[in-house]
Structure 1
């Protein structure tokens, strides 16, 4: 059995989770049922039809709802199977696992039907939860080979269930019931789907939850207060740090609007554009890493690795935001991925911090790629998720190893980006704002020419001469060694140089 330090740096020992006491769950060698659940359609659930104007009121709450519903469903299954909640092994990032001594698969099928009906009636089938069970015995957890096989079985069974989402084939009611007589006067201003005076009942529940999320103290509420109720089963929900995550507060118990967050951009400067940055990131080649490592050799290895990784994203990243990058907003943080937004300058700084911390945390065994978009706060929120996903996919396509970032229409490796960023940050510090704006934009043009040289454009090689001419006209009295640093970075790393220059220029522009 592996220890925390075998996978993670001891500096992050505060992220070590409480692990499931497996030995106390097996009472004999009889058959058990390993139950797994996976919330699907998360992106649609959070973003679909959501209006940009009111998005800040409910985005984090809808994401927190996924965590709350996942825990609720695990408890409901225990209730229906008449087993104690101690058999819940994990509930993280929209997934759960239960080791049930009750192997009644028919009861599990009934739970699935109730969950399907809930999501069809409440959310029109945009999302749902797939639930499956695989038979197992204590021996499956004692043997490395058998535990690997068990994990493969549960993954394959979940994938099979996803091909029959909501069991639509066997349903008689093919046409879903929508609210009737909807018009511009009574359409919910938030979800744009259901009827409601100003807001529908569900969205009012999300607004109430969002107010709890920004409170400092730990809060509690009943699941029924959020419209979560299966067979009348009610559960007390504790709004802990993981569910709260981090959201900038504008007033008492009110999340800051995206307009306010954007206005807080470059707050430490007299200049700078006022925009949002939207960040999407996830761990590279996670499946392959799990397959090639000893993580699935035992339940203990898998449990400590998956829960600690989740803690990095759901606890450590929000802590960074709370302490150093306050003008930010968590949409989703957990499992092995992130979706954040905030003041554009702070999100770029946060991205660099996350990448640095993650490499130390995981001891360089894994990498993380990012897609970052800089947009106005009025940009349609329903399109943001797709846009940033495309940017992340560009980063993932850089090579098989990934560890890349897409930003300012450029995709590069993190190693080269951070190297150039450090070199040029030091260099421009020496200039002490003596460079004029026209010179900076000229540098951007020359960077584009340097990129064309790499594509075989011989005529573009004149960029070096143009650089020296522009330098002599604008910066002639400055240390010529600065010019050499610019020349070298623009030649060897034109895309990375463009990324630095773009950020630098944005910070100098008037908002």
Structure 2
């Protein structure tokens, strides 16, 4: 890449709200969610392609594109080229306004470097300009008219409304999985169609001008095909399989399709069936992982450079990790029951049996640390446990809140946040993750072997929470009484003696909390209780 003189930043806002605005009614929630996730990725890709072409740049000017955001960097642009980019942004906004019912919003920032401005400073200025643009949603649709052109921001009537989303007018009559006839809007109809065709598809083709039989995608026509090769008249192509002709310059070398569990007929496994595959309680785990301090890492990669090659290499490594390596992992046991909602750039969101999602979080962190510790990057995560019938949007909101907790609140005994996991009511450093996992599994196994009643876990949890609420409360004496009255002697044979020695160690450290096992006892016990809950129990 030559010396950078202009930065273009694009951003889709409202992504998570739009992504999870998928009703559970009508069946096929997993199928529709997969289609919606792919739709968002494609909109961002199309926006980047349209802006690149508008200013006369090629795909090599794309520095990164992930999670609805992209960065283009290239030579100086004349004002005419900037005007063309702004016009493209207006057209993209107008299409999103109508197509998504104003749920997705597009913002663009153009920043030209002046007087030898260092790239990190230029990037920060571009980010600030982008934030200002995001604070004025849809202002680009109003034009320069000094009067308020209210008609530009009025959506068409939604009567009769879509039976699924209730946000757009119903246009298509379909029968759902329960053989109930429903009236769907164009967006929900296309989500269903795309979700049905994706499992057997090989290519996503973008055509311009759009053919009559193609799905409308911000000025392009989208075709989903399973042909051996993409159509010769396709402008751009995304491969949905691992193998594709590398000599075909139309193919965008980025993985957009993500792993989902499938039935033998290749259709997605629905969330209620995934919950039934969990150990113990039939719950789903909604996992959100996100890299820490990425902005600082990008600024460091650009420090003293005339271009953004260092940023692009780091971005490509991150995208390869989240979009390719992790997706490949999910294709094989023990991770194949995990549904990757989105993954790319520097974060992921997935849904699956709670215990599999929890174990996967620890495995990902180990891989991430090996790949990016030298770049100064760490990972934080949040795991929410929800019933399979719970709206997946609410589960994602809970996971988001837990991720924010991991990024902003130091774990008990720590002094700084980040590089942490939040789950089961506590936050801990990844260095203590193995302690949480191994101790919880140990307790669960003792319960399964009838070495300790499951009720003892509840007793220990009550005592641990009482200690955390009031350090001066006489909780340790109650713990000593509970252990002395109920637990086998420490000299007992095998696992019985092991159980008592574990309890004695806990008692000895209960007040001081020097060991991670003591500090994180509530999370450990909640994990063990969840793992040993039978499906017949109706517990909170």
TM norm. shorter chain > 0.5 = yes
Deviation, 1:353, is 0.8
Question: Structure 2 residue aligned with 1:255, among 246, 268, 274?
Answer: 268
1:505 aligned residue: 529
2:327 paired with 1:318 = yes
> How many angstroms does 1:174 deviate by?
5.6
- Aligned residue number for residue 231 of structure 2: none
Contact 2:206–2:221 (CA<8 Å) still a contact in 1? no
CA gap 1:159/1:327 in 2 versus in 1, 3 angstroms: same
Scaled by the length of structure 2, the TM-score of the pair is 0.77
CA distance change for structure 1 residues 128 and 426 in 2, over 3 Å: closer, same or farther?
same
Q: Distance in 1 between matches of 2:340 and 2:169?
A: 25
Structure 2: unaligned runs, 5 residues or longer: 144-148, 174-181, 223-233, 243-254, 411-415, 536-540
Provide the rounded CA distance (Å) in 2 between the counterparts of 1:41 and 1:229: 17
1:332 aligns to 2:342 (yes or no): yes
Equivalent of 1:359, from 369, 374, 386? 369
Q: Distance in 2 between matches of 1:221 and 1:231?
A: 9
Maintained 8 Å contact 1:213/1:243: no
Query: What is the alpha-carbon distance in structure 2 between the residues aligned to residue 202 and residue 90 of structure 1?
Result: 27
Cα-Cα RMSD: 3.2
**1:383 and 1:438, CA in 2 relative to 1: closer, same or farther beyond 3 A?**
closer
Cα 1:116–1:431 shift into 2, 3 Å: closer
Aligned to 2:383, which of 372, 377, 383?
Answer: 372
Whether 1:195 aligns to 2:170 is: yes
SS of corresponding position for 1:244? coil
Over residues 3-24 of structure 1, what are the superposed CA-to-partner deviations in whole Å (9 max), with x where a residue is unaligned? xxxxxxxxxxxxxxxxxxx14x
Q: Which residue of 2 aligns with 1:393?
A: 404
Cα separation, 2, equivalents of 1:33 and 1:459: 63
Residue 428 of structure 2 corresponds to: 412
Using the TM superposition, name which of 471-480 and 439-448 deviates more. 471-480
Q: 2:67, 2:350 → 1: CA distance?
A: 15
Return 423-432 or 249-258, whichever deviates more: 423-432
1:309 positional shift: 1.5
Cα separation, 2, equivalents of 1:441 and 1:289: 44
Matched residue of 1:36: which SS?
A: strand
CA apart distance, 1:406: 1.9
Structure 2 match to 1:243: 256
Alignment match, 2:203:
219
Quote the residue 2:485 is aligned against. Answer: 469
Aligned to 1:121: 98
- TM-score, length-normalised on structure 1? 0.81
Q: Which moved more, 1:358-367 or 1:227-236?
A: 227-236
1:443 corresponds to = 460
Residues 423/346 of structure 1: CA separation in 2 closer, same or farther (3 Å cut)? closer
Structure with the bigger RCO (C-alpha within 8 Å, sep 6+) is 1
Output one character per residue of 1:379-431: Cα deviation in whole Å (capped at 9) or x when no partner. 02232222222222222232233222221222233323422433564576688
Query: In the alignment, is residue 284 of structure 1 matched against residue 292 of structure 2?
Result: yes
Question: Which residue is 1:18 aligned to?
Answer: none
Please state how far the C-alpha of 1:457 moved relative to its aligned partner. Answer: 1.7
How far 1:38 moved relative to its partner? 1.4
CA contact (8 A) 2:43 2:218 kept: no
Summarize deviations over 1:325-352 as a string: whole Å, max 9, x none.
Answer: 1111111212222211101111111111
Residue matched to 2:19: 46
How far apart, CA to CA, are the structure 2 residues paired with 1:39 and 1:339? 17
Residue by residue over 1:57-104, the C-alpha shift from the partner in whole angstroms, topping out at 9 and shown as x without a partner, is 221222222221222122222333344444434333322233455532
Find the aligned partners of 1:459 and 1:442 in 2 and give their Cα distance.
Answer: 11
Q: Distance in 2 between matches of 1:509 and 1:353?
A: 24
The Cα shift of 1:279 comes to 0.9
1:94 aligns with 2:102: no
Q: Give the superposition deviation at 1:247.
A: 0.8
Q: Please say which of residues 157-166 and 490-499 is displaced more in the overlay.
A: 490-499
- Name the CA shift for 1:475/1:253 in 2 (closer, same or farther; >3 Å): farther
Residue 480 of structure 2 aligns to a residue in which SS?
Answer: helix
Residue among 28, 34, 41 paired with 1:60 = 34
| Residues 86, 290 of structure 1: alpha-carbon distance in 2 compared, 3 angstrom cutoff | closer
1:32–1:99: 8 Å Cα contact kept in structure 2? yes
Structure with more of its chain in helix, by fraction? 1
Contact 2:46 2:218 in 1 (8 A): no
Q: What is the CA–CA distance in structure 2 between the aligned matches of 1:508 and 1:483, rounded to whole Å?
A: 20
Q: Is the CA contact 1:35–1:131 (under 8 Å) kept in the aligned structure 2?
A: yes
Structure 2 counterpart of 1:81: 55
Q: Distance in 1 between matches of 2:418 and 2:278?
A: 30
Runs of 5+ in structure 1 lacking a partner? 1-21, 267-271
Q: CA deviation at 1:257?
A: 0.8
- Residues 191 and 89 of structure 1, relative CA distance in 2, 3 Å threshold: farther
Tell me the SS of whatever aligns to 1:113: helix
Shifted more, 62-71 versus 431-440: the winner is: 431-440
Report the alpha carbon displacement of residue 46 of structure 1 after superposing the two structures with TM: 0.5
CA contact (8 A) 1:134 1:154 kept: yes
Is the partner of 2:7 in helix, strand or coil? strand
